[in-house]
Structure 1
Amino acid sequence: MNTLPLLTDRPVATGERWIFSVGFNVADTLGDTSRIDSELPDIAHLAEGGARVAVLSHQGRHSDSTARHLDDIARYIADRLHRPVHYHPDNTTDAAADRSRGLAPGEVCVFGNTRHHPGEETGDPHLAARFAALGDYVAVGGFSKAHRRHASNVGILAHRPGWAAGSLLTQTRLLTPWAGSLPGVPSAAFLGGTKPEKTLVGLTAFTRTYDLVVPGGAVLHHLLRARGYSIGASELGTAAEDCTAAAARAACSTTARIHLPRHVVIARRDGHHYTGRQVTAVTDGVPDGYAITDFLPEPWLTSELRRLRSGARVIVAGTPSLHTAGYSTATDLALGLAGAPAVDGILLGGDTVAELRFHGPTSTGGGSALHYLHHADLPVLQALRDHTARRTA
C-alpha cells in the first residue's frame, strides 16, 4: 500500500476534469446505499476543490439486461451532498465528452451505466479510451469491482493517470483482521450464494487458512456434485464445471474441517419460486424438479459453533440458505455466530449485506473481498501502482 497513489495526496486545482470510477451496483430500490455512501467524501472533496467531476459507474449485468439507468443515483448523491448533481444518460459519445467539458468548476455529473456496453466487463481497450474522454485524471473507487479488469477501472488507466479513492483503502484495511491464518485464534467461514467466486476463490482460500468451513448455497451444491450425489434442480450459478472441479480439490483440504450435511431441505423449484418443503438425505439424492434450499447441521457442527462463541474470527460470504424465501436454518447459524459478543464477525458482499440483518462490520464487495483475502492484492491496486511506476520512470 505504501506505493499506491492516493487521491488524498493529490492537490486538486480549480477547473480540473476528473473521472470518478465507482461501483454503484445497488438495487433500484436503493435499500442498501453503502456502496454509494462510501464514495461520497471523495466526490465532495473533488467538487469542493473546484474540480469538474464525471462519475462513471456500473449497475447490473449487460448479459441479462439488468443494467438500468442511474438518474436515481444522481438524485441520491445530490440529496446527500446538498449540491446539484446532474445526469447524462450516455458515456461514450461526443455529446457525453462535450457535457463533461461543459461542467463548471465544482459541478458533478453522473454519466450513463457502463454496463450498457458489452465491452465493459471484458476490458475492451477501445471502450476504455472512450470513457477516458470524460476527463483528464481518474479517481478509482468502486471496491465492489476492484477484482475485475473492467474498461472503466483498469482499462481507463492506460489512458489517464489515476489515484486510489479512499473507499479502496477503507475496505482493504477493514478486511485485514480476517486475512490469512492467525495462530491461537479459531476461525470459521460460512459460504453461500450463487456467484462462482464463492467457490473458485472463497472455498479455495478458506480451506487453506481457516479451521472450519461451512458451505451453503451453490458452494454446497458443487461439493455434493463433486462427490457424485444428485442435486436435482439446485442452483449452480455460472462456470459450473470449473466450480465443481475447484470444490473437488478443496474437499481434500487437510487444514480446514468442512461441514457436509447428511440431510438437506429441498423444495420443488419453479423459476425463483419454491414450494413443498421436504427433508431428504443427501445419499438419496435430490429428485428432478427439486432444489436444495437449506441444510440441517450435523451434531458436531452445533457443538463446534457453541464452542466458537467464546472467541473466534468469523466470515459470512454469501447467504448460506434461501433466507429470503423462508429457508433460514443455515443462515441463522451463520448470523448467530458472527454476531456473538466475543466473536469478530464480518459479512462480505452487497447482496449478503442487503439480505441479512447484521450490526457488525460489513464489506461492500463480496468478490473483491474474497480476492483480497486470498491474494492480499487486487487487480485495480496493481494497475494503479503499475501505471504510476511507468509515469514516473
Structure 2
Amino acid sequence: MAWKTLDDMDLKDKTVLVRVDINVPVENGRVTDATRIEKIVPTIKDVIAKGGRPVLLAHFDRPKGKVVPGMSLRQVLPALQAALPGHRVSFAEDCIGGPAKQAISAMQAGDVVLLENTRFHPGEEKNDPMMAAALAALGDVFVNDAFSAAHRAHASTDGIARLIHACAGRQMQAELKALDAALGTPLRPVVAVVGGAKVSTKLDLLGNLVGKVNHLVIGGGMANTFLVAQGIEVGKSLAERDMADTAREILAKAKAAGCTIHLPGDVVVARDFAAHAPHETVAATACPADAMILDAGPQAVADIAQVFESCRTLIWNGPLGAFELEPFDSATRTAATKAADLTAAGRLVSVAGGGDTVAALNKAGVAERFTYISTAGGAFLEWMEGKPLPGVEALNQ
C-alpha cells in the first residue's frame, strides 16, 4: 500500500491539519455518544508527541454550504476537551481565513484547535480548488483520520491531500490494514456474509464479491429474492420479485467464478412481523402462503458455521434475519458467536461493517471479539463494492 502513516512524517514544529469524523449525535447541545471522538485521540496524541500542533478539520451534519448555527462544531468542544485532559482545546469560528489563522497562531505546545464545520462553505462538497488551497494554507502536513468520509471527494478529504505532504492517521491506518487483510491480500478461503433487506441496494457489492471470495452467504430479505429466482414460493415474505433475473445472473456469475453461494435450507416463519410472534421452522421450499420468512433456520446456521470452520477470512455486511425482533435475531447471533469464537482461537480473520451489522454484533455481545469492526458505513460498503475511495486515493499521490 502506497500511502504513508504518521511514522513516516517529520512533524516537529509543524502545523498538522487532521481530518477527523466527529459527526456525533447531539441532543440539546450535548454529545450523547462520544465514541467517534474517543477514536481520534490516538492520532491527536501521536501528533503532539512528535512535536506537531494538531488542527482538526471536520464536518457536522448537512448544512449544504450555508452557515447553520445548530450545526456548529462548537457544541462538540466540551466532549472533545473531556477526551483530551491536560490539553487545551480551542475553537475557531471558521475553518479558513482570519479566524482559523488567529487560533492557530495562538497555539502553544500540547494545544489542539478545532476549526468550524467545513461544510459551512459550498466549496467543501464541490472539492473547489480554491477551498482546498485555503485549507492547505493553514498547515504544513495533512493527516486523514476519517475513513468514514473517504468515499467523498471533498476539499478537506481529497483536494487538500494533493497540495501538501499527506499521510493516514492511526484510525485510517488500522481501517486500511484491516480491509487489505480482508479483500486485498486475504488468507484463503474467504467467506462473505451479505444480508439485509434488498438485493437492489447491494448489486455492486454482490457483483464484486463473487469474483473475489470463495463462499458467499446470503441472508435476510435478500435471500428471499434469490429463493424466488429459483422458483421457490416465499409466501408474504419481503422479496424483490422484479429482481429475479438479476439474482439469476449473480448465481451464474458466481458459478463461473468458482464462488459457492449459500442460501438457507430451512427458515423461521411467522404470520406477524413482531417480537415473540408465534413462529415455526420449515424447509425453505415450504413457506406457508400466509406466512413470512423472518430468520434463517437452525440447519442453515449449522451450515454457515461449517463454512466458517473451513475458511480463514470472513467479511460481514448485513444481518441474517429480522435481528431487531427477538427471537428472529437467533441466526445472526449464533453465526456471529461462531465467528467470534474462531477469531479468538486464531483461526479466522473477521472484518465487519455497516450500521445494521455493527448494531447486530453489539446486540449479540461479540463485536469486541471480531478482528476489526468498521463504523464507516458508506465508505465500508463502497470499498466492498470495489470502488476507489477518493480520500484514500489522494493519500497515494
TM-score (norm 2): 0.71
**Farther-moved stretch of structure 1 (218-227 vs 296-305):** 218-227
State how far apart, in whole Å, the 1-side matches of 2:177 and 2:25 are: 26
Aligned pair in 2 of structure 1 residues 282, 152: CA closer, same or farther (>3 Å)? farther
Q: Secondary structure at the match of 1:153?
A: helix
Spell out the pairing of 1:39-118 with structure 2 (5 A cutoff).
39-60=40-61, 68-71=71-74, 73-82=76-85, 83-88=87-92, 90-92=94-96, 94-115=98-119
Match of 2:372 among 362, 384, 387: 362
Deviation per CA, 1:234-280: give whole Å up to 9, x if none. Answer: 599xxxx9x999756433211333233475657878xxx98967779
Residues 51 and 107 in structure 1, CA contact (< 8 A), matched pair in contact too? no
1:314 equivalent to 2:319? Answer no
Deviation per CA, 1:37-74: give whole Å up to 9, x if none. Answer: 443222123234443322112355568x9x95545654
Alpha-carbon shift at residue 173 of structure 1 (Å): 2.2
State how far apart, in whole Å, the 1-side matches of 2:143 and 2:191 are: 35
Alpha-carbon shift at residue 26 of structure 1 (Å): 4.4
| Percentage of pairs with the same residue | 25
Residues 271 and 277 in structure 2, CA contact (< 8 A), matched pair in contact too? yes
The residue number in structure 1 matching 2:295 is 295
Letter in 1 for 2:10: P
Alpha-carbon shift at residue 153 of structure 1 (Å): 0.8
The residue number in structure 2 matching 1:9 is 8
State how far apart, in whole Å, the 2-side matches of 1:127 and 1:225 are: 50
Aligned pair in 2 of structure 1 residues 309, 278: CA closer, same or farther (>3 Å)? same
The residue number in structure 2 matching 1:389 is none
Residues 209 and 384 in structure 2, CA contact (< 8 A), matched pair in contact too? no
Residues 315 and 338 in structure 1, CA contact (< 8 A), matched pair in contact too? no
State how far apart, in whole Å, the 1-side matches of 2:20 and 2:370 are: 24
Residues 144 and 157 in structure 2, CA contact (< 8 A), matched pair in contact too? yes
State how far apart, in whole Å, the 2-side matches of 1:256 and 1:155 are: 39
Residues 181 and 209 in structure 1, CA contact (< 8 A), matched pair in contact too? no
Letter in 2 for 1:163: C
The residue number in structure 2 matching 1:379 is 390
Deviation per CA, 1:161-180: give whole Å up to 9, x if none. Answer: 32222333322223344326
Letter in 2 for 1:141: D
Residues 96 and 134 in structure 2, CA contact (< 8 A), matched pair in contact too? yes
Residues 308 and 314 in structure 2, CA contact (< 8 A), matched pair in contact too? no
Aligned pair in 2 of structure 1 residues 129, 192: CA closer, same or farther (>3 Å)? farther
The residue number in structure 1 matching 2:151 is 147
Letter in 2 for 1:317: N
User: What is the alpha-carbon root mean square deviation over aligned residues?
Assistant: 4.6
Alpha-carbon shift at residue 20 of structure 1 (Å): 0.3
The residue number in structure 2 matching 1:215 is 218
Aligned pair in 2 of structure 1 residues 27, 205: CA closer, same or farther (>3 Å)? farther
State how far apart, in whole Å, the 1-side matches of 2:108 and 2:99 are: 16
Alpha-carbon shift at residue 335 of structure 1 (Å): 0.6
Aligned pair in 2 of structure 1 residues 61, 9: CA closer, same or farther (>3 Å)? same
The residue number in structure 1 matching 2:168 is 164
The residue number in structure 1 matching 2:353 is 349
Letter in 2 for 1:211: N
The residue number in structure 2 matching 1:334 is 335
Residues 204 and 250 in structure 1, CA contact (< 8 A), matched pair in contact too? yes
State how far apart, in whole Å, the 1-side matches of 2:150 and 2:317 are: 17
State how far apart, in whole Å, the 1-side matches of 2:33 and 2:199 are: 25
Spell out the pairing of 1:238-253 with structure 2 (5 A cutoff).
249-252=249-252, 253=254
Letter in 2 for 1:5: K
Deviation per CA, 1:289-343: give whole Å up to 9, x if none. Answer: x9x7832238455335246447643222233434334431332143132112354
State how far apart, in whole Å, the 1-side matches of 2:129 and 2:99 are: 20
Q: Secondary structure at the match of 2:211?
A: helix
Aligned pair in 2 of structure 1 residues 88, 371: CA closer, same or farther (>3 Å)? same
The residue number in structure 1 matching 2:192 is 189
Q: Secondary structure at the match of 1:332?
A: helix
Q: Secondary structure at the match of 2:16?
A: strand
Residues 15 and 140 in structure 2, CA contact (< 8 A), matched pair in contact too? yes
TM-score (norm 1): 0.71
